[in-house]
Amino acid sequence: MECLYYFLGFLLLAARLPLDAAKRFHDVLGNERPSAYMREHNQLNGWSSDENDWNEKLYPVWKWGDMRWKNSWKGGRVQAVLTSDSPALVGSNITFAVNLIFPRCQKEDANGNIVYEKNCRNEAGLSADPYVYNWTAWSEDSDGENGTGQSHHNVFPDGKPFPHHPGWRRWNFIYVFHTLGQYFQKLGRCSVRVSVNTANVTLGPQLMEVTVYRRHGRAYVPIAEVKDVYVVTDQIPVFVTMSQKNDRNSSDETFLKDLPIMFDVLIHDPSHFLNYSTINYKWSFGDNTGLFVSTNHTVNHTYVLNGTFSLNLTVKAAAPGPCPPPPPPPRPSKPTPSLGPAGDNPLELSRIPDENCQINRYGHFQATITIVEGILEVNIIQMTDVLMPVPWPDSSLIDFVVTCQGSIPTEVCTVISDPTCEITQNTVCSPVDVDEMCLLTVRRTFNGTGTYCVNLTLGDDTSLALTSTLISVPDRDPASPLRMANSALISVGCLAIFVTVISLLVYKKHKEYNPIENSPGNVVRSKGLSVFLNRAKAVFFPGNQEKDPLLKNQEFKGVS
């Protein structure tokens, strides 16, 4: 009898050995084992438990560092990149995307085959065979016996058959996603996306792992593994962008006094979970102006004092959420007869939860901003054509008289463009020294006639103020008064030199070696010639025309 017990025990042990030897999904996909509570309360729709068996015959399992990984792909290693649109508000959908990066010179064609790119040379040089993997031919050979595609090898690691969507034969990669003790299998090409509803996902950071296999005849070969952390939260993910006119650098959270700042709230909701929710924004700007509540995601606020202020925003939205448990029914004081089936009992109906329950979700944003003085405004009040004593061919000088408000600028920049203000022709920047009145003259050169767009910017350490204008530069007519005056100046100058030379020659020719006498006639002639020359200089050489105040009052006939 004792021998019989031993024999039965041996049979039971032998029958159990295959079960113990069979791998399960959690043995293959990861070492993290969620607790029984996590498994029970994190059920993902459409996902399966990682306690299921893994078909290691079709899908071999290689540990990391196994030498077989080096030969898993022809021409190098394949890299898998896993991304997600995390963080996700609990109850919304989170989407994961996997993209495969092939070795150099390889790509996936329209039929799902892996081919070499034309005229691309890798370490092995140009390949005579255009295919890295010709899966179309493999598929035709492997399924040629029945033509139905129901071959025993067209299955996932858990034995479920591939879905036969249109074009499914062109999908040659198998992706196995694993998280929270569950897995999801997907047949795809070099890029796939999977969305998961987070209603039953535990709040906080979670780990997603993906293993990728490729076709290999009637079996599959692992080619890549990747993992990434995603976050599920009960707080609305909120971001705020801040911008201000004339602010030099909005990223440093330093802004200008007496100019409105625009605050724009961005809610991270890629699955549009809150599309039909009413969202309220409650602002506190930290400058004792009170609270401001709005349903608009943008708001403007102006700080009138310098200093540091604490900005606080609270976002409130009514979102779909779990319904609270129904209250227990009141006990009747006296037993009452039944009024019919349980579905018609009002007490029973009150226990049926409302499928459209909503819960208030909140999001918060805080920032510390600094308010300083800055250049608030800049204006061009006058444009003047500068008359030049010597003509510059095809060039004009124009003075721009500029005023500003706010702090004193330290630099000025002008950008001269075509009339559409799109094609830049010239950019000039220079430091400036301006008094408290903030009145300065900027001189710029224009090459050629026509219409120009002029952008003029005044700046300091914290601000940039811009103004623009269109200006028309007229043609320089050779018969214009300016050209005639320049010609007259040249002619008179030549005449004066000629008279001087002739006088010296005559004097040298008639010079006698007599003692110098104090002849009144000589003095008068000398003085007369001097007066003549001085008057000629006064008429034709009036001095620096730039200093003539009358020229400054000649307004340039341009377009402002």
Q: Please give the residue that has the higher pLDDT: either 168 or 463.
A: 463
- The answer to whether residue 247 scores a pLDDT higher than 60 is yes
Q: Is residue 504 one of the residues assigned to a domain? A: no
Q: Is residue 282 one of the residues assigned to a domain? A: yes
What mean pLDDT comes out for the span 477-501?
41
Task: Verify that 199 and 169 share a domain, yes or no.
Answer: yes
Q: Whole-prediction pTM value?
A: 0.70
Structural domain ending residue among the three candidates 473, 505, 532: 473
Per DSSP, the residues of 109-177 read: -TTS-EEEPTT--BTTB--SSSEEE-HHHHHHHHTTTTSSS--TTSB-TTSPBPP--TTGGG--EEEEE
Q: Is residue 533 one of the residues assigned to a domain? A: no
- Tell the residue number behind the tokens 């408000």, with chain if given: 405
pLDDT at site 23: 85
pLDDT at site 155: 93
pLDDT band at 389 (very low <50, low <70, confident <90, very high): low
* Residue 324, burial from CB neighbour count under 10 angstroms (0-12, 13-18, 19+): exposed
What mean pLDDT comes out for the span 513-530?
36
Q: Is residue 219 one of the residues assigned to a domain? A: yes
- The answer to whether residue 493 scores a pLDDT higher than 50 is no
- Tell the residue number behind the tokens 């035709």, with chain if given: 140
Q: How far apart, in whole angstroms, are the C-alpha atoms of residue 59 and residue 416? A: 67
Task: Verify that 207 and 115 share a domain, yes or no.
Answer: yes
Structural domain ending residue among the three candidates 183, 217, 233: 233
Q: Which residues of 242-276 are buried (b: 16+ CB within 10 A; e: fewer)?
A: bebbbbbeeeeebbbbebebebebebebebebbee
pLDDT at site 251: 87
pLDDT at site 333: 65
- Specify which residues 256 forms β-bridges with: 372
Least confident interval from 104-108, 135-139, 272-276, 403-407: 135-139
Structural domain ending residue among the three candidates 205, 233, 261: 233
* Residue 285, burial from CB neighbour count under 10 angstroms (0-12, 13-18, 19+): buried
Of all residues in the chain, the percent with pLDDT exceeding 90 is: 52
Q: How far apart, in whole angstroms, are the C-alpha atoms of residue 549 and residue 517? A: 48
Q: Is residue 543 one of the residues assigned to a domain? A: no
What mean pLDDT comes out for the span 313-327?
86
Q: How far apart, in whole angstroms, are the C-alpha atoms of residue 67 and residue 314? A: 55
Task: Verify that 279 and 398 share a domain, yes or no.
Answer: no
Q: How far apart, in whole angstroms, are the C-alpha atoms of residue 306 and residue 246? A: 16
- The answer to whether residue 485 scores a pLDDT higher than 60 is no
Q: Is residue 306 one of the residues assigned to a domain? A: yes
pLDDT band at 362 (very low <50, low <70, confident <90, very high): very high
Task: Verify that 385 and 469 share a domain, yes or no.
Answer: yes
Q: Is residue 258 one of the residues assigned to a domain? A: yes
> Each residue of 331-345: pLDDT tens digit?
766 655 544 474 444
> Of 434, 473, 438, which Cα lies nearest the Cα of 453?
473
Task: Verify that 253 and 399 share a domain, yes or no.
Answer: no
Task: Verify that 185 and 103 share a domain, yes or no.
Answer: yes
Task: Verify that 302 and 178 share a domain, yes or no.
Answer: no
Q: How far apart, in whole angstroms, are the C-alpha atoms of residue 222 and residue 159? A: 17
Least confident interval from 318-322, 398-402, 528-532: 528-532
Task: Verify that 197 and 287 share a domain, yes or no.
Answer: no
Q: How far apart, in whole angstroms, are the C-alpha atoms of residue 15 and residue 462? A: 80
How many domains would you assign to the chain?
A: 3
pLDDT at site 412: 94
- The answer to whether residue 474 scores a pLDDT higher than 70 is yes
What rounded mean pLDDT belongs to the chain?
78
Q: Where does residue 187 fall: left (phi above 0), alpha (psi -120 to 50 degrees), or beta otherwise?
A: beta
Q: Is residue 6 one of the residues assigned to a domain? A: no
pLDDT at site 486: 39
pLDDT at site 16: 45
> Each residue of 179-217: pLDDT tens digit?
999 999 999 999 999 999 999 899 999 999 999 999 988
pLDDT band at 29 (very low <50, low <70, confident <90, very high): confident
Residue 381, domain CATH: 2.60.40.10
Q: How far apart, in whole angstroms, are the C-alpha atoms of residue 222 and residue 69? A: 8
Q: How far apart, in whole angstroms, are the C-alpha atoms of residue 256 and residue 244? A: 8
Least confident interval from 22-31, 248-257, 520-529: 520-529
Task: Verify that 228 and 256 share a domain, yes or no.
Answer: no
pLDDT band at 27 (very low <50, low <70, confident <90, very high): confident
Most confident of 91-100, 245-254, 346-355, 488-497: 91-100
Q: How far apart, in whole angstroms, are the C-alpha atoms of residue 207 and residue 229? A: 5
Residue span of the structural domain in which 260 resides: 238-323+356-372
Task: Verify that 220 and 265 share a domain, yes or no.
Answer: no
pLDDT at site 142: 55
> Each residue of 133-179: pLDDT tens digit?
988 876 655 554 444 445 678 899 999 999 888 888 889 999 999 99
Residue 219, domain CATH: 2.60.40.1930
State the CB neighbour count (10 A cutoff) for residue 478.
11
Task: Verify that 37 and 164 share a domain, yes or no.
Answer: yes
Task: Verify that 287 and 397 share a domain, yes or no.
Answer: no
| DSSP, res 102 | P
- The answer to whether residue 69 scores a pLDDT higher than 50 is yes
